[in-house]
Structure 1
């Protein structure tokens, strides 16, 4: 407590310690290390209070970082394994995101009120596992809803526990609480008759406040009674009700009125004054070590493991296996900053990039960046889908590689694309392929090339063939293009290189001689045909 007798707090005490010199008389009982740690704690909490105006997500991240909550949870083995502790912290962040989606302001006061209500309603309790044979489960009354057991024990049947102590007797008169008249359940809530017609004088208004407070208490008692009903109806056969007056309090607590009512219904006589006996906690002390050992009971095992590592580092290293040699070589190459290499698997459309500038293309593939979706790409997708549907042949469907390399849009044409799509359809229907029935549409061939770029590495080229036709004894592979045609001979050569790869891929898969396979690029928008 403070000097004037008011209740103090740990934060006030830390603020005091942070402002005082190390030789202050009140700090004499603390060691030098404790004074340093307490001063650091005071400064940390003071800094967090100054950051209270930050957006809630940033403030929570700052609190987690400054207080090292992840480390503290992992070190506190009373909360379970480190993984469980980390899951609990992440679960709280998920709940916080849910709160922010429902509260646009996201103020700190609203968050604290939400957390307080969630704590009272036990909304953050872990999910209750279904009942199991030969297993004793400890859980809250809220967590037991909807479940049943053969035998149930309801403990702490004393006042201020069941029923719980009323924490807020103001109701909607409290700061930041929605008035009951605006709530959908206002008919079941206590009413405050504060208007002039209901309270014409100060005496009437005073009586109205007293009636309202009585209503708040009565409603709280009714809610606690419903909660007690949930507790006692979880048992199928056996129910044990207990109440201990001593539960870490300075004075014993009286027997719960609910317990007395149940005893009366059962014909069990409970004395008015139940002797709680001596306080079992009187004179007992618990000694804890602070700061907490981060390793806890794991220290012997961790220490032993560290010694083994030190011994192994000083011993002669065994010959590495072939797999280990490859992994070590890969790590060394990364550490040395060796140039990137082309991916083992790539679409044929990227082949020209590696042929033109191998290093730049390899760097771009190693660190891909999102690309702007172009309208022309969407229009091409719509046209390809139309040609496939018109052929009556089911294509290959989407490949797992599509999301890695291409942008895909919905197949429905938006109004800006509808006119252009109709124009492309008209050009196709007037083309030489309009009356031909394809052998395959939208088919995919994985073509293995032992060394396409001269980097000494084999690569698998994903060849996506738009359409394959038979013309007499020859095979024709056609690639539909909705973009602009090549403007220079160099561009034409690059694009025909992809078609040449298609010829070799089709030859490798179907065994058709290369001299009987033709390829063509049809630029539908310009009604232009390019053949190799």
Structure 2
């Protein structure tokens, strides 16, 4: 279709040749309505899985845009088919993210009835809908906000009303008002991210998601984590990161058209994959449904650029013809070639609106058919009614095991987390459950960045002053997670003093780093172990690996024990030997606050044990074995001890 293609100009043969035997022909299914189309796709998937031909994860539904996915997600839910949706946009429209945005809006302006309604009707509060609608109707009649009606203890006791709120609604009403009063006061001197986390924890919503008690729990957690990343980015740059300022920031982002992508697909999840064609690039699935294939959807309507670039300013030769149509055709080709075994092209006459939609010209081109040859499949009236039945609820799909043939990448932190508690590993590295900011993390990160600045300059032979370290330390500082303003000032002062002592010690030394923040990777079987050394020195022919710690250790014996038993240092030693063919001579832990330094040598028994532990963690992760292993000590210091069911009797 395009004479400017390289294979035409240079006579290249780009014909695709499959290594698999021939499969079934491409099928085009055309229906009278989009609902019928979506239901048919769900039915095909359900029957193929029930017959044992495929698993849910083998299917992909490709949509042209994020908003096009709604009908197909609804049909999957109605049939209790597990799915995961990943769009190139749409994070702010996700139910769990809208919940947090509504909370922020209500804390900023309690008279925002729309957002309060969203909050009350959410799965967090589940306010009885009959009572909620009565409250909203009363607010409309009185021309007041929903909050004003909700906070009136005598609601429905006037104007001849004989039906009070139900007991469930009264109890929920009191809970909501109590939570809002508490959170408004809680937000007085705290960052917005901390307020959001307090809400998730106080209401038990995060715990329910972590236990998988809500529909699409794992996907919701990942989308919440993405939203918290946005909040954290705001906190890192805004001079004031309290609730009112975050609300204004989000309003401006949304007004400007910002709409971040939802959580990416989890490859090991046994669920139908629903994603946009753009997000499908580079992926393959045994069975692919390309849906909504009608004119003006795919190809989409051409939108003219706000600022057209004159042809004279374009360095490359502009292809002749309709460039937009050519791009859409290439995208259609991308979608078709995602299928490994079976490909379905689906369309419908009615997607809402008055006019009947025409089948995409790309479908006609691909199948060499005419529009007149296509007749829609009519919906049975009984089936139309049954489409509105309620599903039992989509269960959280199980993670598929990772085969031994597939490489698995692990860091020392992942190995540590898994061996400490497999469920902790799942919360951190698979579900990515958001964490409340903790002052030890803020402090440690700021100290580490200051030391990194010193070591990099020392390695490059550049001058470095204590003021340089202090500027980097204070620039990396975040006022999150501290117990009070006084506590924060105390930790700031401790950091300044610790860095001064560090600077004086290092300036008195002749040692120059050979490596600073050097990344490494080595293979242990099919497991790729990755990490980075804080610092590596070469002193008089000896190799010394240094790791800095910001935790307070004042006892030399305790420091000695930590170094000798450190799995992290053992992994660092193994990495050096694998990469450079020799063992490091010394492994050192430098405790920055106290100045204590502990030195140990790579010991064969510790190295052997560490390799066994890597294999043990890798086996469990591959088997998707995430049962908790609670202990009083580990649970006490676990960041998830307030949401993990296994710690309820341990902490």
User: TM-score if structure 1 supplies the norm length?
Assistant: 0.36
Larger Rg: 1
- Which has the bigger relative contact order, CA under 8 A and spacing at least 6? 2
